[in-house]
Amino acid sequence: MSELVLGTVQFGLPYGITNVNGQVDKNEAKKILNFAKKVGINTLDTAISYGNSENTLGEIGVKGFKIITKTSPLRNNVSEVIKNFHQSLNKLGVKQVEGLLIHNFQDTKEKMFNVLLNELNNFKKAGLIRKIGFSTYNPEEIDFLLSNYEFDLIQVPFNVFDTRLIEGGQLNALKNRNIEVHARSIFLQGVLLNFDTLSNYFSTWKNKFEQYQKIVKDNNISLLDYALNFALNTKGLDKVVVGVESKNQLNDIVCSSRLNFHLKAFSIKDNNLLNPSLWN
């Protein structure tokens, strides 16, 4: 299961448009982590901005896991970002993280950004960080990063509806540079797992959703099977980030990941659907 990364935003916030259970309580989070370790999931994704996710992980214990976390916003205050990173290490109870991602792409526009990158590279040399990278939201950001920076790791939005990185060539470009690629939003915040409870905002794509569900049904598999296996079998993706609200959900994902279906995309080229920050 090393291709799966356990996303832990739900450990600190009531995250996801189809989330009906709210934030995961500490007891359930412990069950999820124990099960993840048991099935061979060895990487956790978190961030300082994910509520008390880092605290919860540190309190439960993350021994045996690789940790990827993210920076606080720069706002031209490098010392604040560095201080917050050290706080993340303390909260998590670790001396090193597998990856530290620049969480806010707009930080690259700040005049002190190169100073911050130098500091992070010093941390890498000192062994506090193994890989430095970026969390991104669209192909244009990836193009900019590839043109301007050397980095080890990137987190990208990708799912059966959102294949912009294949069509635009960014996925190939990242692999040609030997950059590790982690896909997030593979369930589009839960949209791809449950079309029945969506708000009126999504009625624009009702016909598309019905067409897609027919394809899934014709393949005689579940919505989970289709969305997950599409991402897992996309060439160029090294890891896939999955977030869950319960141990049972993680068990379903693990079982689905063992099916190994090779499936076709169902691209919907509409940023109003693909970018959750635009939803209302």
Cβ neighbours around 158 below 10 Å, total: 26
Q: Which residues contact 256 (CB under 8 A, 6 or more apart)?
A: 222, 224, 225, 228, 229
pLDDT in tens, 80-130: 999 999 999 999 999 999 999 999 999 999 999 999 999 999 999 999 999
Angle at 55 between CA 50 and CA 58, to 5 degrees: 125
* Structural domains in the chain plus CATH codes: 4-278 (3.20.20.100)
pLDDT in tens, 8-21: 999 987 755 454 56
Q: Which residues contact 13 (CB under 8 A, 6 or more apart)?
A: 23, 50, 51, 53
Share of the chain above pLDDT 90, in %: 91
The residue behind tokens 């379903």 is 252
CB 50 within 8 A of CB 221: no
pTM for the predicted model, two decimal places? 0.94
Question: How far is residue 53 from each of residues 12, 47, 92, 108, 221, measured CA to CA in Å?
Answer: 4, 7, 9, 25, 33
Angle at 100 between CA 118 and CA 90, to 5 degrees: 105
